[in-house]
Structure 1
Amino acid sequence: MEHGEDRQITIIDEEGNEILCNIVLTFESDDYNKSYVIYTAVGQEFDEDGDPEYHASSFIPAEDGEDGELFPIETDEEWEMIEEVLNTFFDEEEGE
C-alpha cells in the first residue's frame, strides 16, 4: 500500500472539467483483481459539514508507469471493501 503527500492526479468530471486531486492511497484487491485509488479534490477536501470528502476509482495502471485509466466503482460490495481499507488506513495512521 502506498501513500504520500505529493502524489496527485487530474480527473475529468461529468462536465469535462479537469480537477486536480491529491492521492490519499492506492491499493490492489485480489478479490476484484483491480487496483484502486482514493483521492480528494484539491480545494474541495471537505463537504458542507466539514467532513473529509473522499472519492475512489478503480484503475488499470499503464505499462510505462504513467497514470492509468480511471473507472467508476460499480458495486456496493466494492464500496464496502474500499471503506474498510480506508478505515484501516486511518486507524494505522493514528497509531503511528
Structure 2
Amino acid sequence: MSEEEQQITLVDEHGNEELYTVLFTFDSEDYGKSYMFLYPADAENDDEVDIQAYSYVPDADGNADEGQLNEIESEDEWKMVEEVLNTFLGEDDAE
C-alpha cells in the first residue's frame, strides 16, 4: 500500500469489520458536505469492484478516516454523487 492510499474500517450491523480503501474524496458546495468513495481493500485487481459512497464529517484535524460517515439519503444527492464518480471513472453517459 502506498503512503497516499487511505484505508478505513467499516463495521456492519452484525459487528463484522471490513477494511476499505478510499478511492477519493470531494466536497460539494451545493450540498455543503464532503463525500468519500470506498472499495473493499481485498478487491485490488478485480474487474468489477463494489464502490460505496458516503457523506462524511471529518474529525477536528480534517481527517476523513477518523470522522463520521453518513448514508446518502436524497435521490438528488445520489444523482450528483454518481455523476462525480462517472466523471472520475471517465464514463461519460451523456453522449
Measured against the shorter chain, the TM-score band is: 0.7 to 0.9
**Structure 1 residue runs of 4 or more that deviate by more than 4 Å after TM superposition:** 44-47
Q: Where does the alignment leave 5 or more consecutive residues of structure 1 unmatched?
A: none
SS in structure 1 opposite 2:80?
A: helix
CA distance in 2, matches of 1:53, 1:27: 19
**Structure 1 residue 46: deviation in Å?**
9.1
- TM-score, normalised via structure 1 length: 0.77
Tell me what 1:35 maps to. 34
CA distance in 1, matches of 2:4, 2:12: 23
**Structure 1 residue 44: deviation in Å?**
4.8
CA distance in 1, matches of 2:45, 2:52: 11
Distance 1:46 1:70, change over 3 A: farther
Tell me what 2:11 maps to. 12
Q: Which has the higher helix share?
A: 1
Q: Does 1:53 align with 2:47?
A: no
SS in structure 2 opposite 1:65?
A: coil
One-letter amino acid of the counterpart of residue 76, structure 1: E
CA distance in 2, matches of 1:72, 1:11: 13
After superposition, the CA RMSD in angstroms is 2.4
User: Which string of whole-angstrom CA distances, capped at 9 and with x for unpartnered residues, describes residues 46-70 of structure 1?
Assistant: 99xx532110111001112342111
One-letter amino acid of the counterpart of residue 57, structure 2: I
Q: Where does the alignment leave 5 or more consecutive residues of structure 2 unmatched?
A: none
Tell me what 2:59 maps to. 62
- TM-score, normalised via structure 2 length: 0.78
- Aligned-pair identity (%): 46
**Structure 1 residue 16: deviation in Å?**
1.6
One-letter amino acid of the counterpart of residue 74, structure 2: T
CA distance in 1, matches of 2:50, 2:31: 24
